[in-house]
Amino acid sequence: MRHVSFFIAAALTLSGCSLARFQSTVEPTQPWPPATGTVVAQTRYGRITSVEDGGYSIELRETPIPADRPEAERAVAQAAVRAFADAPALTLTYNGLQRHPENTGIIVEVFDSPEAQFMVDVQDDHVVYMQAAVVPRLSPAATRLAPPELEARARAFLADNNPCFEVLVDHLQFEPGGKGDNSFFRWSNPEPDIERPWNQPTFVQVGIDAGGLIFGYVDSGICYLHFP
């Protein structure tokens, strides 16, 4: 079994809250200490080192999480969540800032509702994550849609809610999957992020149950991709 340990080295000073600044000002202030194993990948943001027993150590030098945004800016993010959920009166609880769980170069604000958790990219106030608090379970008598219909609904959802999907879909690799009554439709960058190889290749994914209910959505930054 591979064991991965994370060491966060926050050695930088923030000069603002835009993703562009996050990506352009991350420069280590000190050289890397000697590695305890063999360095297999290294960028300005971190390095991966192989260690004993087939494991890897991942050392990160990402920009520290910034301070909370002003209330007025968070209100814009909350409005985006309510529009995304098509629920103007949705009750939201702010739970702070963190890095995107699938892309450490993106800073998100986290909001919880009674039904789901949402994350909003602070760079552009787009919702980039939604996960229902309870994954649906269909009754045996429920009507189940065919896989092509489920895929069509996932594509329509992305066309409505992701500003870059229709522009980039032909450049992305389609990866359908599922478990039981739940299907997952993912479109991924065919190439890894060479600056952050510890992240999965950038992707957008929809989780949908056999009845057509969307219960999960992840966008790890497809709008930041650049193709020839």
Structural domain harbouring 169 = 71-224
CATH at 148: 3.30.310
Q: Which residues pair with 129 in a beta bridge?
A: 119, 218
Q: For residue 38, give both structure tokens.
A: 């063999």
Q: For residue 228, give both structure tokens.
A: 């020839």
Report pLDDT digits (tens) over 31-48.
878 888 888 888 888 888
Q: What is the pTM of this model?
A: 0.81
Q: Do residues 51 and 142 share a domain?
A: no
Q: Do residues 132 and 45 share a domain?
A: no
Q: Do residues 93 and 160 share a domain?
A: yes
Report whether 84 contacts 76 (CB < 8 A).
no
Report pLDDT digits (tens) over 155-191.
999 999 999 999 999 999 999 999 888 999 999 999 9
Q: Do residues 120 and 195 share a domain?
A: yes
Helical segments of the chain, H only: 19-24, 71-85, 147-161, 165-168
